[in-house]
Structure 1
Amino acid sequence: MKTKLIALLAVLLFSAGANAQNAPANEQPAKKILIAYFSWGGNTQHVAEHIAALTGGTLFRIEPEKPYPTEYTPCTEVAKAEKEADARPAIKKKVE
């Protein structure tokens, strides 16, 4: 999972950098950038904030309606059960 996330972030950074280089300095890019992330422990949040700083994108934190346990082991048990059930927990907010 971490490998997929890192690869996705690398692609996003590369494409954002490539688009920024093609646009004239006085012209704003036509596309808006949204950085949607889920972070239980804060690591992904820091990466998302860094990407937003580099790209000028807007952050959107994905938060489940029912919060995950704050302790590691109970959280992994919930996550494992959701994965096995192919669950898609409801989230608090939608992207506008």
Structure 2
Amino acid sequence: MVDRTPYRLYSDAEEATIMAHRMGAEQARQHFAEIIANAERGRVTIIERHGEPRAMVVPLTRSPASPASVTFTALAGTGAGLWGSDPTRTIEALREEWE
């Protein structure tokens, strides 16, 4: 079974966009205090630039509590296979793309 908790913020945000208030970036700059006050009341604001959504201000109560700190050693092995069977070759290939 997959733990979907880490993805909850995104699904909550997706649902929130349906009821969100939208405004342009310049208007948001001028009314920033109002946007924060609205977030404290549970209201979501989507900030757009040239008609395209660029940012979302959401109430913190909608985001999951930050997970407990994870020790560095607990992360050991979580990236297994990320770099292929030969990490040196993978890194060299990535560097060649930028040359």
Is the TM value for this pair above 0.5? no
**Structure exhibiting the larger radius of gyration computed from Cα positions:** 2
- TM-score w.r.t. the length of structure 1 is 0.27
**The structure with more strand, counted as a fraction of residues:** 2
- TM-score w.r.t. the length of structure 2 is 0.27
